[in-house]
Amino acid sequence: MDPLESVKITFFQECDEHLATLEGDLLAMEESAGDREAIDAVFRAVHSIKGGAGAFGLEALVSFAHVFETALDHMREGRLAVTHEAVQIMLRANDILADHVEAAKSGADADAAAAAAMMAELNALSPGEGGEAGGDDALDAGGTAPDELGFVPLKMDIADIGGDDTASDPAADDADWVVTFAPHARLYATANDALILLRELTRLGESDVSLDASALPGLDEIDPEGAYLSWTVRLLASCTEDDIREVFDFVDGDCTLTLERATGDGQGAGGSGDAADELPPADELGFRPVQIAIGEDDAITSPVAESDATPASAEPAASAAPQAASPPPTAKPAASPAASATIRVDLDRVDKLIDLVGELVINQAMLAQRVSETVIANDSNVSMGLDELEQLTREIQDSVMAIRAQPVRIVFQRMSRVARECASATGKQVRLVTEGEGTEVDKTVIERLSEPITHMLRNAVDHGLESPERRAEVGKPAEGVVRLSARHQSGRIVIDVADDGGGINRERVFNSAVEKGLVSADATLTDDEIDNLIMMPGFSTAQEVSNISGRGVGMDVVKRSIQELGGRLSISSEPGVGTTFSLSLPLTLAVLDGMVVSAGGQTLVAPLTSIVETLQPKADAVRRIGPNRTVLAVRGAHVPLVDVGVAMGWRTEPLPATEGVAILVDSEVHGEAALLVDGIQGQRQVVIKSLEANYQHVDCIAAATILGDGRVALIIDVESTIGSNLRGATPAEAKELLAAAG
Amino acid sequence: MSLSILTVDDSRMMREMLLLALSEQGFVVTQAEDGVEGLEKLNSASFDVIITDINMPRLDGFGFIEGVRADEKHRATPILVLSTEGDVEKKTRAKTAGATGWIVKPFNAEKLVSAIRRVSA
Amino acid sequence: MNETTTSSLDESRELITFRMSDQEFCVDIMAVREIRGWTQTTPLPQSPQYVMGVINLRGAVLPVVDLSRRLGLGPTEPKARHVIIVVNIGTRLVGLLVDGVSDILTVTDESVQPTPQVACDVVDSFVKGIVTLEGRMISWILLDEILPEPKEAAA
């Protein structure tokens, strides 16, 4: 790859990292009431994005970032107060900055109008100077100014200075340059070196250098940090003033420098030992004096002289000084050294490691199985060794998985924008409160969290919260609160989206469900059951579907996508107080605790999380409904009994229920149900393998794994397996099955 | 001439960019992520030239330069400041702290190398 | 359908040939990852009959297609002598069950002719062209369409 391309990739990675933390930092800035550290962090992030964008010529991004940065700089310098309003504007500016980065990534153009509007808002924040910080300034900071290397560019017109008579003399342009250069002590203190400067100067062309050591005091008077020498250099006319000035760019102000054109015969420059501070009058020496810059600290360094008689040893003048000229650093270099105790590792390497550990787990299981099939299994040493290997394998696996664990903060951070945009689209006021951002889950889960949480959040703002007017009526503050929280709970991650809105209007939900034929009008449902109707396929309270929470996506789809990840979505609501959606997911999508079962001659894995219990169906507990469907009586209730072999299409005739084992599972959509399998082989952790990677999604199957015998076993998708049983049912059967499930 | 150069910048991208430009010239590059790490590197090694950013966490460029100059053995090491900051006040501050020269971003490899040549013996 | 049927003329290619139902077929060797012996597959529910199931290919789950059945030439009764040609189709790895690999041919594009219209429909849609070589007629299989159409966002 083009090395520059890879730097660009790094740039965008870094942008993403900055953008991911910017939002939180902006909020922290407000919370800490303008704490300098917090503002600095925000400033640095925006500044860094701007800097990189400049390197890649991303003009639009540079301009926008610059205006943003300018406003932040005002805050940093205390010229702009860190108010709630200002931070709100910056949060939106952050959104637009993110848009710009995205646009730059794909080579597209960001929304110029939105950017312009935001730049105007940001500019308006700046004290006094309303719209000034725009284009011109951006260019400057973008570095296209001519003095990329220099300190202060001084545009000087020679003609203006020299006076009318000589200025118009065209012959002057052909004359040699005479440069007098008298370093101040300060020049050496910045590790500049008169000799190097002279070397660079003489590189410009044929030259003649003479040293003036006349200011050198006696040895006993020499200040080791002093500067006593000066030089006069005569240069061929061919080089330009800019060339010469560039050489002295860095020492501007730290030396006395004169730059002159020699007249006619050019003899004036020679060994003139007089190149001190006082510039000779032009007519006297025949030069046109041009003083490029005079150091502000001339006074303290005079007399101008050099500490050492020989130019060759001029360099160590500063380094030989016994005392530190500069004060020690005021910041604390030792601060938090532990902060750097992390390394950055390419994700591919971690994933490779995880794959390999997955193989190790499988191989260990295969080994264990083979050993158990042989006689030596009885050898306690061998089986003890195998146990230890298993233990170790498991620990390695856990440790490796932990490498990929990431805090949900990454996802939560994006949600403020979602809430903000949704609020402004619905005319509501929302405050998003996040808790437990540090809760860690595997990267595979993190990646899949964003979408369902976005929908849940939109739903909460759009449907959960009341309008500000309605809130005023019931005595709530106009600003609604949505609480987004994460926690670990019994080996899973639980994420709540809770609003303080009006709660679910159960009457309306029930009526709507009846209208859609989802429940019969005379059904008596508990509050919970009504609430759950919201997440039923086919349910969406039509009059409420807006393009915010909607986009045509109902909560049933959210629920479905969560279930596909082995997760659950539940709901609780209290009228007038609010609604909470809870989403629970396994901590990783890379391994799964499963029950290995056989059905229809195949080996399958049922996810342990959905299993309630297993039982041996008794003949009198099994009841047939219609020709093909069966329910099982469990603790007084009837649940659908689904023959897994039939559901998978591996046999047409269901196994007589009493000959198999029923696995009672807790299904989200269909309530409790029982899966009928031929037998249970055991429980174990399995490594999840994607079917989609080389094939495609398969009904009734969640994923695949590889078992101890090296063969692929399919992992049952409990929801769709039960669903498949219901799908073919006649309405009467479905009703009865649903009723049984209920 | 193979110069040893310390680059101090909190941006990974900028560090990579510097590495690319400098190693192309045959310079030997050591990287630090901020002023603190920069000073740590200088504890155990010396460099021909130091290139530093200004805006960095933990210890910014000004503090870093002061720290370098406070150490006897690095008093004469040229320090080039690489920053987007263009204003006079910041340059003056950097200079007061002991910076040798200043390079304004955006990054231009040619200018950078020329600046390095101009401050290194 | 976006096969590179109009590749440059003078390019020579290597093709792996194999037999099925007394006919010869081939695939571009560039698409072939490896050739392995037959192993018992794990059948997939709700899948077309020509999808025999999946096998473990060093930790990856690999679908195996009964190529003969896919081309409408009748199902294969897999035995130990059968082989699975593992091929790249886009980003996917897919196993093709065939009777056995015959040889490797080097052909130029001139020796490839368009599929004659007389061929039966099913085969036609999978054959990219006919390689004629020393009196042999070898059908060059187009791999793109071998897998079933993915079901729409299986809701």
Domain closes at, from A290, A325, A360? A325
Residues of chain B with C-beta less than 8 angstroms from the C-beta of A242: none
In terms of domains, do A489 and A581 share one?
Answer: yes
Contact with chain C for residue A559, Cβ under 8 A:
no
Residues A499 and A612 in one domain: no
CA distance A134 to B18: 29
* Beta-carbon contacts of residue A686 (< 8 Å; ≥ 6 apart): A591, A592, A593, A594, A605, A705, A706, A707, A713, A715
Claim to verify: residue A213 and residue A302 sit in the same structural domain: yes
**Residue ending a domain, choose from A542, A570, A586:** A586
Q: In this predicted model, what pLDDT tens digit does every residue of A455-476 receive, in sequence order?
A: 889 888 888 888 888 898 988 8
pLDDT band at B113 (very low <50, low <70, confident <90, very high): confident
Q: Are A253 and A104 found together in one domain? A: no
Q: How many helices and strands (H and E) does chain B possess?
A: 5, 5
The better pLDDT of the pair A306, C117 is held by: C117
Q: Where are the beta strands (DSSP E) in A323-444?
A: 405-407, 429-435, 440-442
Evaluate if residue A448 carries a pLDDT over 90. no
Does the distance separating the beta carbons of A48 and B98 come in below 8 Å? no
Of A150-164, A422-436, A514-528, C29-43, the poorest mean pLDDT is in A150-164
pLDDT, tens digit (0-9, with 9 covering 90-100), for A637-691? 888 899 999 888 888 888 888 899 999 998 766 778 999 999 998 888 788 888 8
In chain A, how many domains are there?
5
Domain-located, residue A159: no
Edge-to-edge, what's the strand order for the sheet holding A712-716? A679-687, A591-599, A602-607, A712-716, A701-706
Instruction: Give whole-number Cα distances, B50 to A586, B41, B44, B74, B88, in Å.
Output: 49, 11, 14, 10, 21
Measured distance CA(A20)–CA(A106) in Å, rounded: 19
Residue A330's pLDDT band (cuts 50, 70, 90): very low
Asked if residue A733 and residue A606 are part of one domain, the reply reads yes
Asked, for residue A142, whether it belongs to a domain, the answer is no
Q: Which of chain A's residues have a Cβ under 8 Å away from the Cβ of C148?
A: 696
d(CA A340, CA B35): 12
C-alpha to C-alpha distance for C38 and A601, rounded to whole angstroms:
20
Average pLDDT over residues C95-124: 79
| Cβ contact, residue pair B104, A41, below 8 Å | no
**C61 touching A (Cβ < 8 Å):** yes
Task: Work out whether strand A712-716 and strand A230-235 pair parallel, antiparallel, or are unpaired.
Answer: unpaired
The verdict on residue A301 lying in a domain is yes
Task: Tell me the residue length of chain B.
Answer: 121
The pLDDT tens digits of the residues spanning C53-62 come to 999 988 789 9
In a domain, A337, yes or no: no
Which residues in chain B are closer than 8 Å to A333, comparing Cβ atoms?
35-36, 39-40, 59, 63, 67
- State the DSSP string of C92-149: EEEEEEESEEEEEEEEEGGGEEPPPTTS-HHHHHHEEEEEEETTEEEEEEP-TTSSPP
Q: How far is A326 from chain B (nearest CA, A)?
A: 6
Same structural domain, A565 and A608 = no
Residue A644 lies in a domain: yes
Instruction: From chain A, pick out residues whose CB is under 8 angstroms from the CB of B67.
Output: 328-329, 333
pLDDT classification of A545: cutoffs 50, 70, 90: very low
Contact A695 C147 (CB under 8 A): yes
Which residue of chain A is at minimal alpha-carbon distance from B83? Answer: A51
Are A228 and A307 spatial neighbours (Cβ–Cβ below 8 Å)? yes
| Residues contacting residue B15 through CB under 8 Å, at least 6 positions apart | B7, B9, B31, B33
Does residue A304 sit in the same domain as residue A231?
Answer: yes
Return the residue matching tokens 């199902």.
C75
Identity of the amino acid at C126:
F
From C33, C20, C14, C12, select the one nearest C104 (Cα to Cα).
C14
Confirm whether A525 is domain-assigned.
Answer: yes
Q: Name the DSSP letter for residue A55.
A: H
> Residues of A with CB below 8 A from B56's CB?
44
Tokens 């190790």 sit on residue: A360
Q: Using an 8 Å Cβ cutoff, are A126 and B71 in contact?
A: no
Chains that touch B (3 or more CB pairs under 8 A): A
Q: Which comes out higher in pLDDT, residue B93 or C50?
A: C50
- The count of domains in chain B is 1
Alpha carbon distance A59, A66 (integer Å): 10
Do residues A391 and A416 both lie within one domain? no
d(CA C28, CA C14) in angstroms, rounded, equals 6
CA distance B29 to chain A (A): 16
Mean pLDDT score, A71-93: 83
Percentage of chain A beyond pLDDT 90 is 7
Which one, of A584, A561, A429, lies nearest residue A553 by Cα? A561
ipTM for the complex shown: 0.87
Q: Do A711 and C42 touch (CB under 8 A)?
A: yes
Q: Can you tell me the distance from the alpha carbon of A146 to that of A152, in angstroms, rounded to the nearest whole number?
A: 10
Same domain, A12 and A71: yes
Q: Which band of pLDDT confidence, cut at 50, 70 and 90, is reported for residue A485?
A: very high
**Tokens 């919370």 label which residue?**
A31
Is C34 near chain A, with CB under 8 Å?
no
Q: Which residue has the higher pLDDT, A545 or A238?
A: A238
Cβ–Cβ contact A321 with B under 8 A: yes
Which CATH number does the domain housing residue A612 bear? Answer: 2.40.50.180
CATH classification at residue B17? 3.40.50.2300
pTM of the complete model? 0.51
The boundaries of the domain holding residue A528 are: 408-586
The residue written with tokens 């510097």 in the block is B18
Q: Express each pLDDT in A583-617 by its tens digit.
A: 888 877 777 888 999 998 899 999 888 888 999 99
Q: Residue A733: which pLDDT band, with cuts at 50, 70 and 90?
A: low
pLDDT tens digits, A343-395: 778 878 887 888 788 778 878 877 887 787 776 656 678 888 888 898 898 88
Identify the domain containing residue B17 by its residue range: 4-120
Residues A395 and A412 in one domain: no
A280 pLDDT more than 80: no
* A292 and A385, same domain (yes or no): no
What is the C-alpha separation between B96 and A250, in angstroms, rounded?
12
